[in-house]
Structure 1
Amino acid sequence: MGRTHPVTGPPDDDLPRTPDGPARPRTVHLSESGLPAVVERSDWDEGWVLRIGGIEQSHVDLADPSRISHEYLRRIAAAVDTVRPRGEPLTIAHLGGGALTLVRYVQATRPDSEQLVVELERELVSFVVGALPLPAGTRLEVVVGDARDRLREMPGRLFDVVVLDVFSGEASPPHLAAEEFYVEALEHLEVDGLLLVNVGDDAGQHFIAAQAAALEAASVSLGLPGVWMLTAAALVERGDFGNYVLLAGGALAAADIDEQSQRWWAAGPHPAAVLDPEETARFVWRRGR
């Protein structure tokens, strides 16, 4: 069973800290992956980064939580911005926590939102919050465990937005990279809710093509609109390594395709590619052959 608890602020500790973060890098050993997690100053700005196994996973700006550095997360935030009128609170589930960058963004832009994080690594959330406190007033529930298992323990619980951010190419958990799981995730959305899936993939793009096809099949089975994709233009043109954001759910039902495409394209970051359902289907056909 998963462990559930609210997070209202950093735990008490006697480690040195500055007014805007820890005075020195902090490290914890993650029991599930066996990798070290480190929170330290960014090499290129005044923000903070979370590295797991030496690889940067997240960036946090404590002074301005609405500022997001990583391009794929900026695309996700732009999509979240369109789900409800500006400033209106959301109910949102984050499957995969990282440094809680999107949690911080939602609190900064939509105070009083009710947020849930499902995180496999039981040490990670408390470690991150201890080093990098959440914005005042953040309403966050943390559930420790496998994303699919934990969702199954929440029958009937619905969210305005569900964000899935656990995929990294062919090494991704196969029980999550499946049509059946997408059906389960979509069933946890409000009628006009939105599912966002971040997919990292290598050059060749076979994994992202497979995930877009699986999400499309899940959407069709539930009578939902087709799948959209947000990414960098170069990834569509040249098929390089990078991140892709897939969108599905009832929130897309009433969307004017041209208007929605322009809105997401304008939000950037640039050069941006916004693929509507027909364009996403063509992308899948080309890459999936």
Structure 2
Amino acid sequence: MTDPPISLERDERGGITVVMDGQPQSHVQPDDPLLLVFEYVQHLALAIEALPPGRLAVTHVGGAGLTLPRWVEATRPGSPQIVLEPNEALTAFVREQIPLPRRHRIRVRPQDGLSGLRALAPDSADVLVTDAYAAGRVPAELGSAAYLLDVGRVLRPTGLALWNLADEPGFRWGARMVASISAVLPEVAVAATHEVLKGKRFGNTVVIAGHEPLPVEELRRRVAGASLPTGLREGASLQRMLAGAKPFGEHGEPSPSPPDPGRWRLR
């Protein structure tokens, strides 16, 4: 099987969108890594901002344009970061076209999430981000019991595991993913724009999970100050949103197919 074609789309603001197989994967602002355009990346960032100041050991499952690793390096310089990205051609293309900052500590490994996490030491990540797609869908194995158990093993007791999940209105697939995550990491919340939380459109929801109670008050403060109209669901409000969803079990299921890329909205 050959890798899907890779291209770059440049906008009038100097930003670059990495596109694979017709689907936008990442948006990078080379001269300003703090400018995050995709709404879900903003939500991943606000979750990380809820952690105490200082360097963080961050593991990313999925690389693409390396937008979030660049942001972490800019906001918490010197943070050791591991990126698991199996597509070596994509990584080489991005490094050539959108170089990483000097003196960074971002290490990209040509491994998929399932095999890459197995090689990592227990309690080695303060933050573990799962943001990996194939043909616009979250692969089934990233919702499997084996993968989620490894997330729980690699994540430190006080750390945060984050997922970027894309789902149709109704959040049926996403609810089952959250139920699967909760079986390993019992403390869970979700963040998304209000229109996604209300089921008005296909969109991205960020799951925030941990072994220990989440920094809920800080998350609420960050969500309230978000540049997008964003909501947080946790506790009873999250349970109502899940409405009895059942975990996937051993193998997981891929996320729903995305709509026509032309209908995606950049913020």
Q: Check whether the contact 2:179–2:245 (CA below 8 A) recurs between aligned residues.
A: no
CA RMSD of aligned residues (A): 2.2
Whether the aligned pair in 1 keeps the contact of 2:23 and 2:136 (CA below 8 Å) is no
1:272 is aligned to 230
Could you tell me which of 192, 203, 213 is aligned with 1:242? Answer: 203
Question: TM-score, normalized by length of structure 2?
Answer: 0.85
Alignment partner of 1:230: what SS?
strand
Amino acid paired to 1:65: P
Distance verdict in 2 for CA 1:204–1:262, change over 3 Å: closer
| 8 A Cα contact 1:183 1:219, kept in partner | no
Larger relative contact order (Cα-Cα within 8 Å, sequence gap ≥ 6): 2
CA distance in 2, matches of 1:267, 1:246: 18
Give me the whole-angstrom Cα distance separating, in 2, the residues matched to 1:142 and 1:68: 21
Contact 1:158–1:190 under 8 Å retained in 2: yes
- Secondary structure of 1:56's partner? strand
Summarize the Cα distance change of 1:206–1:215 in structure 2 as closer, same or farther, 3 Å threshold: same
**Is the contact made by 1:91 and 1:161 (CA closer than 8 Å) also made in structure 2?**
yes
Partners of 2:62 and 2:123 in 1: CA distance: 18
Shift of the alpha carbon at 1:169? 10
Segment drifting more, 92-101 vs 203-212: 203-212
- Please say if 1:35 is aligned against 2:35: no
The separation in 2 between residues aligned to 1:279 and 1:180, in whole angstroms, is 28
C-alpha deviation, 1:254, in angstroms = 6.0
Query: Which among 11, 35, 39 is matched to residue 67 of structure 1?
Result: 35
Secondary structure of the corresponding residue to residue 68 of structure 1: coil
Offset, 1:69: 0.5
Q: How far apart are the structure 2 equivalents of 1:168 and 1:101?
A: 18
> The residue matched to 2:72 in structure 1 has which SS?
helix
Match of 1:80 in 2: 48
1:53 to 4, 21, 33: 21
Which ranges of structure 2 fall in alignment gaps of 5 or more residues?
Answer: 247-267
Tell me the alpha carbon deviations over residues 232-254 of structure 1, each in whole angstroms, 9 at most, x when there is no partner. 1111223420000001114x526
Aligned sequence identity (%): 29
User: How far apart in 2 are the matches of 1:240 and 1:287?
Assistant: 20
Post-superposition CA distance 1:51-110 (Å, at most 9, x none): 11122211111111111110100010111112221xx11110110001000011011111
1:253 is matched with 213
Higher mean C-alpha deviation, range 48-57 or range 105-114: 48-57
Tell me, which stretches of 5 or more residues in structure 1 are unaligned? 1-30, 221-225
Tell me the CA shift for residue 157 of structure 1: 5.8
In the alignment, what sits opposite 2:260? none
* Deviation (angstroms), 1:168: 7.3
Aligned to 1:105: 71
CA distance change for structure 1 residues 74 and 103 in 2, over 3 Å: closer, same or farther? same
For residues 29 and 43 of structure 2, the distance between their equivalents in structure 1, rounded to whole angstroms, comes to: 17
The separation in 2 between residues aligned to 1:145 and 1:91, in whole angstroms, is: 18
* CA offset digits 1:188-235 (Å, max 9, x no partner): 112211100000112232111110111111124xxxxx2100001111
Instruction: Please state whether the residue corresponding to 1:166 is helix, strand or coil.
Output: coil
Structure 1 counterpart of 2:256: none
- Alignment partner of 2:94: what SS? helix
What displacement does 1:274 show?
A: 0.5
C-alpha deviation, 1:170, in angstroms:
9.8
Q: Which has the larger radius of gyration?
A: 1
Judging changes above 3 Å, is the alpha-carbon distance between structure 1 residues 77 and 254 closer, same or farther for their aligned structure 2 residues? closer
Tell me how far 1:286 sits from its aligned partner.
6.8
